[in-house]
Chains A and B, each alone.
Chain A
Amino acid sequence: MITFDGVSKRYGVHQALRDVSFTVPKGQILGLLGQNGAGKTTAMNILTGCLAPSGGSVSIGGHNVMTDPRLAKRLIGYLPEQAPLYDEMTIRSYLRFACELKEVEKSAIPDHIEKVALRTGLTDVMHRKIGNLSKGYRQRVGVAQALCGSPEVIILDEPTAGLDPRQSSEMRSLVRSLAGEHTVLFSSHILSEVQSLCDRIIILHHGKIICDSALRALQCGERRLRALIACGEGALLPALHSLKSVQRVTVERGSDPGTTQVILHVSGDAPAERELFTLLSALQYPLLRLTPVEDSLEDIFLQATGREG
């Protein structure tokens, strides 16, 4: 649905994007992650035709954004980082304008506006002036304008920025409800948000893609197991190091006397649990607890950006 092909963008001497290539299939929710200044907003602005790339090409639904902008832009709904709102307009007149811009058929506009309002929870406030709305409602109006024209691709640039926790949660539910029906490109630097919403993430760092993977695959790259064993550290560690599937062993502080708590770093799907049980039962060291340690997206992000400096 979306194809980025070798896209680069230069502002004077500053290289904002470097040879960025990826594709997003229909119906996927893709999270674009990165620190401030990593190039997320630039990538989104290029995708929506607001900026021209210095090199490479972007297409949406097979239509090149630069050479075939009208057809490409018909397929997108964009909520920039700051919702594009006209304070002097009422929500209804604003959404009507958004529908007209998206070339929705005139006779279908009233019904379309009602549907979009219902979906974004704006039905009761349609008559209000945008300038008088709270931040949460303003953001909803921003999403509503992105949904006008039922575009196949929805692009949301940090849609929860500046919202309180309740509003953020409502916004996430709204984004989640778009899944399947729309292809969603979503940027954020709130990792838990991306973790809860996206099928796949791309991490941008200094304008380059340093990670592009399905979230599940990312979290499964290396497994970690936390084990509490009733045995002294000195006798236990050499034995654990002899396990074939364990790459590394880290001892954790704060274990009770006579017990040792360790983290076992296991490669991929290796049967570490079975090997550990066999070893400990042979040595007669009681295993008191064994739990998997799940990598948070934050760990993945820090590892990825740390590697790249």
Chain B
Amino acid sequence: MKAIYRREIQSYFYTPAAYVFMGVFLSLASIFFGVGNLAARSGNMLSFLSQMSYVWMLLSPVLTMRLIAGEKRQHTDQMLYSSPCSLTALVTGKFFAACTVLTAAVASCFIYALIVAIYGTLYLAETLVGFLGLLLQGCAFIALDLFISCFSRNQMTAAVAGMGVNLLVWFADVAASAISVKAISSALQFISLYQRFAPFTQGQLSLSNVFFNLAFIFIMLFLSVRVLDARRWSEA
């Protein structure tokens, strides 16, 4: 797994992928912070983090689109599958590499917290909880889009499909509040990544939500391994 992780990290920084991701992420973060905090003279970091959570919808596929689809395009998948490295190690190595880039992007947002701390009042514990929530939600989107990438041979298809599925996740969240049938509404709220993030934006460290995100990641990675394994039985 270490070999896969190291290669993926190298690959992110040898190609434009990490720079595009970080550049767009920090540009959007600057706009949100500038408009929501600086212009509004607000020290509320949690509302800033809440807005940032929608960025994953667009940017998570930038990190995941090449993880599996890119290997197929370059025919390097055969090198990986014929090596002693297991599919589980392959998928987790790739997942952790994407999460590392995502964590670096989230960590760079601490600069905004520092600005608030210098020029205003920063509620550190609540802010840290908010950052944890944003990070967990980002990793859950990475796991979901990695799973989507397993179905595609083409990076662009993987990216567009990832964005589409992310949008569906968001629509499910919107639908949950619009649907009057309580059972459906509750079910949608239960699986919604945005609903699970909401307590973090209020500074509440909810272990059930932490656990939900971790379980979601585990299930997506497990399904990714199963999809890759199933392809060995069906692919030409």
Q: Told that A50-B78, A86-B74, A89-B7 touch, could you supply 13 new A-B pairs with CB distance under 8 A?
A: A51-B232, A69-B84, A70-B84, A71-B84, A73-B84, A78-B78, A80-B75, A82-B75, A86-B7, A89-B11, A97-B7, A98-B79, A101-B84
Q: Are A86 and B82 in contact (CB under 8 A)?
A: no
CB-defined contacts of A80 to chain B, threshold 8 Å: 75, 78-79
Type the 1/0 row for B1-28, where 1 means its CB is closer than 8 Å to any CB of A.
Answer: 0111011001100110000000000000
**Bound Cα distance A93, B85 (Å):** 18
> B-contacting residues of A (Cβ < 8 Å)?
11, 14, 16, 45, 48-52, 54, 69-71, 73-74, 76, 78, 80, 82-89, 93, 97-98, 100-103, 145
**Bound Cα distance A186, B84 (Å):** 21
Taking the complex as formed, is B81 at the interface, i.e. its CB lies under 8 A from any CB of chain A? yes
Return B105 CB to nearest CB of chain A, in Å. 21
> A-contacting residues of B (Cβ < 8 Å)?
2-4, 6-7, 10-11, 14-15, 74-86, 232-236
CB-defined contacts of B232 to chain A, threshold 8 Å: 49-52
Q: Are A100 and B74 in contact (CB under 8 A)?
A: no
Asked if A11 meets B236 with Cβ closer than 8 Å, knowing A84-B76, A97-B3, the reply is yes
Q: Are A88 and B84 in contact (CB under 8 A)?
A: no
**Bound Cα distance A51, B14 (Å):** 31
Interface of B, secondary structure class, is helix
Contact of A83 among B2, B75, B233 (CB under 8 A): B75
**Bound Cα distance A125, B93 (Å):** 29
Q: Are A45 and B10 in contact (CB under 8 A)?
A: no
Q: List 9 A-B contacts (CB under 8 A).
A: A16-B236, A48-B81, A49-B81, A50-B82, A51-B233, A52-B233, A80-B75, A84-B75, A85-B76
Contact of A93 among B2, B10, B84 (CB under 8 A): B10
Q: Which residue, B4, B80, B82, B233, has most C-beta atoms of chain A within 10 A?
A: B82
CB-defined contacts of A87 to chain B, threshold 8 Å: 74
Return B166 CB to nearest CB of chain A, in Å. 27
The 4 residue pairs across chains A and B that have the minimum distance between CB atoms = A100-B3, A84-B79, A48-B82, A101-B83
Please name the residue on chain B nearest to A88 by beta carbon: B14
Q: Are B234 and A76 in contact (CB under 8 A)?
A: no
Please name the residue on chain B nearest to A50 by beta carbon: B81
CB-defined contacts of A97 to chain B, threshold 8 Å: 3, 6-7
Return B174 CB to nearest CB of chain A, in Å. 40
Q: Are B2 and A100 in contact (CB under 8 A)?
A: yes
Please name the residue on chain B nearest to A71 by beta carbon: B84
**Bound Cα distance A97, B236 (Å):** 27
CB-defined contacts of B85 to chain A, threshold 8 Å: 101
CB-defined contacts of A11 to chain B, threshold 8 Å: 234-236
**Bound Cα distance A302, B233 (Å):** 32
Please name the residue on chain A nearest to B230 by beta carbon: A52
**Bound Cα distance A50, B7 (Å):** 21
CB-defined contacts of A98 to chain B, threshold 8 Å: 79
Return A15 CB to nearest CB of chain B, in Å. 12
